[in-house]
Amino acid sequence: MENLSFALDCSGGDFAPLEIVKGGVQATRELRCKVYLVGDEKEIKTVLETLGEFGNPRIEIVHAPEKVGMNESPAVVLKRKQSSLYVAGKLVRDGIAQGLVSAGNTGAVLAAGKFIVGTEEEVERPAIGVALPNPRGRTVLIDVGANVDSKPKHLVQFAVIGHTYAQEILGIKNPRIGLLSIGEEEGKGNELVKETYPLMKQTKLNFRGNAEGRDIYAGTFDVIVCDGFVGNVILKASESLGLAVIQLIKEEIDRSFLARMGAFLLLPALNRFKKKADFTEYGGTPLLGAKKPVIITHGKANAKAIKNAVRVAGEFLMQDFNGKLVENLKTLIPHEVRV
């Protein structure tokens, strides 16, 4: 990725600026790209000096004295023009950097993506797709929170965005698309789903009908489409369930010596499993449909997660994701179903 450069928001996330700067350094070494470290100049300089990386020719510091807090309203970013997120977004909008990575306030990163970086041609509403693990591979759930109260035509666009993501980035040929509902048959579900179903059938997607909640982690579909409210609560409930299960199992294990012994022997297997499910391994969630890659990482992202997020942004560019997306939006959706 020698010709690419990325803007890293160094004031967002639980471990900013240290882990962001470290991740940026790793990206310059491993991916050989350029990074713009955007944030408090002094702080960033101090970290770079500590790491012995001040003067790294692939790193440029861009001063941005303000920041957007984790609990502030997302819209704040659009007014706070000296914030690291705004400045990073502007670098991308102006073509100086080719992608944005932030571990900050998710809503604010979304706003920066939509309104500062901007929305790609043909895309009505950018959407967030996550590639969730299942025993056979991954299923893209889209949208998981960039939009609420979506209209049928938006869901059709999300389907095409998810199709393009699954095919171009995850390497899934002819992805099987499902529409999230309750009940499998056409005509089952809420008003939104009932209106969307016939539109989906008119597209050239590999539409396989309604998916149910149970399909999300079962590998029966490659892309499952839903409104962002629904996708977001599912995603967060899943995280919370995972934590609760680990907690409950831990409590049971603590009650017996043999069980503790067993857990010890199981550790390597559990760690391999953890690696499969670990967000730091695959680095961040893209805002699909923005003009340039915008990658939102977990607030707790460490250096490795940041580096992987940069890698993901680079892959989107190298695969010409946006070019293929625009093409797909034009060719897979018949004219009368377009937004």
- Residue ranges that bind its own copies, judged by CB under 8 A: 107, 133-135, 145, 148-149, 180-183, 189-191, 193, 212-218, 226-230, 232-245, 247-249, 251-253, 255-256, 258-259, 261-270, 272-273, 276-277
Least gap, CB of 261 to its own copies (angstroms): 5
Q: Is 133 left (phi over 0), alpha (psi -120 to 50) or beta?
A: beta
Least gap, CB of 319 to its own copies (angstroms): 28
If the CB atoms of residues 101 and 192 are measured against its own copies, the closer one turns out to be 192
Least gap, CB of 250 to its own copies (angstroms): 9
Contact 117, 95 (CB under 8 A): no
> What DSSP assignment string belongs to 32-73?
--EEEEEE-HHHHHHHHHHTT-TT-TTEEEEE--B---TTS-
Could you give the CA distance from residue 222 to residue 207 in angstroms, rounded to a whole number? 10
First-to-last CA distance in the chain?
Answer: 35
Least gap, CB of 134 to its own copies (angstroms): 5
Check the CA dihedral 237-238-242-243 and report its sign.
negative
Residue 164 structure tokens: 């393009």
If the CB atoms of residues 51 and 241 are measured against its own copies, the closer one turns out to be 241
Could you give the CA distance from residue 53 to residue 1 in angstroms, rounded to a whole number? 20
Radius of gyration (C-alpha) of the chain in whole angstroms = 21
CA 103-104-105 angle, 5° bins: 135
If the CB atoms of residues 50 and 247 are measured against its own copies, the closer one turns out to be 247
If the CB atoms of residues 96 and 182 are measured against its own copies, the closer one turns out to be 182
DSSP letter for 169, please. I
Least gap, CB of 33 to its own copies (angstroms): 33
Measured from the Cβ of residue 82, the count of other Cβ atoms closer than 10 Å reads 11
Could you give the CA distance from residue 220 to residue 198 in angstroms, rounded to a whole number? 21
Least gap, CB of 152 to its own copies (angstroms): 14
Q: SS3 of 276, please?
A: helix
Least gap, CB of 81 to its own copies (angstroms): 24
Could you give the CA distance from residue 13 to residue 175 in angstroms, rounded to a whole number? 33
If the CB atoms of residues 9 and 215 are measured against its own copies, the closer one turns out to be 215
Contact 8, 103 (CB under 8 A): no
Could you give the CA distance from residue 7 to residue 60 in angstroms, rounded to a whole number? 10
If the CB atoms of residues 267 and 318 are measured against its own copies, the closer one turns out to be 267
Least gap, CB of 113 to its own copies (angstroms): 17
If the CB atoms of residues 148 and 318 are measured against its own copies, the closer one turns out to be 148
If the CB atoms of residues 39 and 189 are measured against its own copies, the closer one turns out to be 189
Q: Residue 46: CB partners within 8 Å, gap ≥ 6?
A: none
